[in-house]
Chain A
Amino acid sequence: MTNSNETIEPSPNDKAPEKKMQTQVTPSSLANVAGNRELRVPGTEMLGIGLETRGVHAWFGKKHVLSDVSLDFAAGTVTALIGPSGCGKSTFLRTLNRMHEFIPTAALAGQVLLDGRDIYAPGTDVTKIRLNVGMVFQKPNPFPSMTIGQNVLSGLKLAQIKRGNTDDLLESCLERAGLWSEVKDRLNEHGGALSGGQQQRLCIARSLAVEPQVLLMDEPCSALDPGSTFRIEQTISELAKTMTIVIVTHNMQQAARVSDYTAFFLSDGGPGMMVEVAPTSKIFSSPVDKRTEDYVTGRFG
């Protein structure tokens, strides 16, 4: 993944007007970037649990904010959700691990199936769902009252999971999050002493400790510098080998770099809808819907 050093040149095929000084991000160039990833064919590897949604709607009070989203996340894939601000991507993400219901006026319809079972079915244990579907937030939020080591293992303590040898788990989570070498001698320091990028990787390690099958990421790099962003994208690629990842991002290049599939969300003032979903290289090279094309070529958004 060394694409961040490439300069992206306008290609003769692009239809967007040329802009001076800016590296023009064109559909086909993003497609090139996306095409460099090995396309994972779902179903060929039995990797953990997949997530499916059927006709998901969401409301806040009377306001209909998300309409009829049916999207499948195959096991072991990385799916990016892109689209302009305010079109329901984050709301949709939160329906996947039942964080949506924390807002007092929230309501929803439709089904979210984890390994074939609706997570909203009556009698479902919400805490178990969240152990299986983890989340990393936009702003890093390690627990300030705990040390780095305690932060990583906090998920176990919170869910009252007893584990024999936590040292191995601690090391492997930090390793997978790409943070081990930087903090292995500092495990007893407080979480607040790290830089923004390190804190976010700490949060990733923390969510890994409870061994989720799916990891949801809500614009995880938007508050970080490019160097940290790059590291985290590397982490995402590694993690995708053993879990399903759904990432909301404003950054189309990021979507092109890390995801196998991309879903485009849009709102015309009403509820947000998913307009199109396709393998990432295809959505940037030959999107089906005109609105998708307008967005990925930069005509709006």
Chain B
Amino acid sequence: MTLTQPTVIPAPRELTTKPRRSDQVFRGIVTLGGMASLVILGLIALFLSLKGVHILKEEKFGFISTSKWEVITDDSGSIAESSFGIGAMLVGTFLCSLIAIIVGVPIAVLGALYLTFYAKGAAKKILVSLIDLMAAFPSLLYGFWGFFIFMSSAEYWAKLLNKYLGFIPFFKVPAPIFERSPFIAGLVLAIMIIPIVTSISREIFDQTPLDRIQAAYALGASKLAMIRAVVIPYGRGGVIGGAMLGLGRAMGETVAVYTVLNVVYQINWQVLFGAGGNVASLILLKFGEAGPYEVDALMAAGLILFILTLFVNAVADLLIHRFGGKGR
């Protein structure tokens, strides 16, 4: 028995809802408010460029690649010669953040696995709250703690590294000054980003589809086997995204690095040696004494930092949303 279609199928009617005036106003206001982020970010890029672009034009690529930062004024106070290059600080940013990621991310992921698959009941609630709280600690606090309390232990580990692994160029030091090194700053940054990465990873692990987990267990898998077969493939992208968010945070960190690291303007690849800096702490350091010309250079540095962190955050966002499971 077949169903007969009517001989003439009418065209679908247009369904329109014209919003009332009050709604139009409402929608307009809300949309404007929503666009605020776009406007603000745009303004940041704009103003930093306005102030800093002439320095970039002068130094051109050398701004990023060279490592001299000096302003020479003549007797009357006007600028005789200047040379701005944040190369050393970019290296420092890179090194400190790298250490932060290498140390912090594995610890954070392991902690997240513990929270999702091992912790139970009240202990789990307390630990989760504790980690959320830790994410809210100001960087000033981490810097202080890092300088006064953590420094001695970290110095000791640095000495150990130098003693046993000193044949690796990274771990050599030109002079036995282990205090306030990029290594220690990196460790403090690691401790700072652990809560962020742990929270994101934990949320992603929590969303692993239960039916796949059950399928693995029903086949006789141990917890490790299940995690390797189901959780990691599912959450891999999102966890990497979380790690990149941590990276962004580490790259832009100012006061913690400033307090812990001995900010010296030189390229220092030997992370155990007590000298170095990152772009953000450079800006802070030079700001107090900078004349208007130098301030423009600092603006340019800020612009570079802004673009860098924007890029890292964009990639992180993409990873978390595309590959990190649904409903974040």
Contact in complex: B225, A158 (CB < 8 Å): yes
Contact in complex: B218, A210 (CB < 8 Å): no
Contact string against B for A residues 104-144, beta-carbon threshold 8 Å, 1 for contact and 0 otherwise: 10000000000000000000000111110011010101111
Q: Which of B215, B221, B230 contacts A159 (CB 8 A)?
A: B221
In the bound complex, how far is the Cα of B27 from the Cα of A63, in angstroms?
A: 49
- Known contacts A104-B120, A127-B222, A137-B211; A143 and B229 CB within 8 A of each other: yes
Q: At the interface, yes or no: B26 with Cβ under 8 Å from chain A?
A: no
- Known contacts A99-B214, A137-B215, A160-B225; A143 and B230 CB within 8 A of each other: yes
Q: Which of B212, B217, B218 contacts A143 (CB 8 A)?
A: B212
User: Chain A: which residue is nearest B215 at the CB level?
Assistant: A141
Q: At the interface, yes or no: B216 with Cβ under 8 Å from chain A?
A: yes
Q: Which of B120, B214, B220, B230 contacts A210 (CB 8 A)?
A: B220
Counting chain A CB atoms within 10 Å of each CB, the highest count among B211, B217, B233, B234 belongs to B217
Contact in complex: B229, A158 (CB < 8 Å): yes
Contact in complex: A203, B215 (CB < 8 Å): yes
Q: At the interface, yes or no: A102 with Cβ under 8 Å from chain B?
A: yes
CB within 8 Å of A: which B211-252 residues: 211-212, 214-222, 225-226, 229-230, 233-234
Tell me, rounded to whole Å, the shortest Cβ–Cβ distance linking B326 to chain A. Answer: 14
Contact in complex: B214, A131 (CB < 8 Å): no
Chain B interface, number of residues (Cβ within 8 angstroms): 18
User: Chain B: which residue is nearest A131 at the CB level?
Assistant: B220
Count A-B pairs with CB separation below 8 Å. 70
Contact in complex: B229, A159 (CB < 8 Å): no
Residues in A with CB closer than 8 Å to B233 are: 143-145
Interface size class of A (residues with CB under 8 A): 20 to 34
Counting chain A CB atoms within 10 Å of each CB, the highest count among B212, B221, B230 belongs to B221
Tell me, rounded to whole Å, the shortest Cβ–Cβ distance linking A93 to chain B. Answer: 11
In the bound complex, how far is the Cα of B218 from the Cα of A146, in angstroms?
A: 17
User: Chain B: which residue is nearest A203 at the CB level?
Assistant: B215
Contact in complex: A128, B215 (CB < 8 Å): no
Q: At the interface, yes or no: A262 with Cβ under 8 Å from chain B?
A: no
Tell me, rounded to whole Å, the shortest Cβ–Cβ distance linking A6 to chain B. Answer: 21
In the bound complex, how far is the Cα of B218 from the Cα of A99, in angstroms?
A: 7
Tell me, rounded to whole Å, the shortest Cβ–Cβ distance linking B210 to chain A. Answer: 9
Tell me, rounded to whole Å, the shortest Cβ–Cβ distance linking B304 to chain A. Answer: 39
Q: Which of B217, B221, B234 contacts A99 (CB 8 A)?
A: B217
Residues in B with CB closer than 8 Å to A135 are: 218
User: Chain B: which residue is nearest A134 at the CB level?
Assistant: B218
Contact string against B for A residues 226-257, beta-carbon threshold 8 Å, 1 for contact and 0 otherwise: 00000000000000000000000000000000
Residues in A with CB closer than 8 Å to B214 are: 99, 102, 137, 141
New contact pairs (5) apart from A129-B220, A144-B212, A158-B216, CB-CB < 8 Å: A143-B216, A154-B216, A154-B229, A158-B222, A207-B218
